[in-house]
A and B are shown apart, each in its own frame.
Chain A
Amino acid sequence: MTLTIPLLLPTGETVPLSSFLTSDTLLLVFLRHLA
């Protein structure tokens, strides 16, 4: 289920989390905000 989470690219395109899992591991860094 986690892998299908939709994420938005800066272009506005929606991609699933799985599309970034192209290496052995993936470090996800969730920011509280960009500031």
Chain B
Amino acid sequence: MPCRAHLGEVTARADDFHEFGCNILVVTQARPDVLAGFLAHFPQPVPVVGDPERVAYHAFGLERTSWWTFFRPGVIWRYLKHMFTGQRVRKPYAGEDVRQLGGDFLLNRAGEVIYSYRDPDPTRRPPVAELLRAASGR
């Protein structure tokens, strides 16, 4: 699932995460000026920060995939499925490396990682229900 769709799914359930005492922070590769422009057009209900040097991406073990990944049948199929549902595949913003994979992590107050999901390819993200289950501690 492309990133903007995952962002929408997670932020739509922000209240449910808050009920479990869980805040959300979105990390992007965007430079501050790019991020400010994006947020002016697409305000988000949760904080969004930039990591243009990808320090946090590296610290959390998020890898950069190869170009070949985009030609895997499963990846092409998921992009097509996404487009068939009326969603657009948009051009990346300035400075973004499309080969950088994302992921989702849950930290406790001590900063320990208690849940982790590293995207295996550009089209896969964890279901929000799985993230909520992790946040609920069940």
Contacts and interface: CB of A to CB of B under 8 A. Distances in A.
Interface string A1-27: 111011111111001011011111111
A23 B22 contact: yes
B24 interface: yes
A20 to B, nearest CB: 5
B59 to A, nearest CB: 6
Nearest to B11: A29
Q: In the complex, which range does the number of interface residues on chain A fall in? A: 20 to 34
B49 A27 contact: no
- Taking residues whose C-beta sits less than 8 angstroms from the other chain, chain B's interface range is 35 or more
Contacts of B28: 31, 33-34
A21 B111 contact: yes
Contact of B105 (A12, A21, A27): A27
Contacts of B6: 29, 31
A30 B105 CA distance: 8
A6 B55 contact: yes
Interface of B: 2-4, 6-7, 10, 17-18, 20-36, 38-39, 47-52, 55-57, 59-60, 62, 89-93, 96-98, 100-109, 111, 113-114, 119, 122, 131, 135
Given A2-B59, A23-B18, 10 more contacts: A2-B107, A11-B36, A18-B111, A24-B20, A24-B108, A24-B109, A27-B25, A31-B27, A35-B2, A35-B4
Interface of A: 1-3, 5-12, 15, 17-18, 20-35
5 contacts: A2-B60, A7-B27, A8-B49, A31-B26, A33-B92
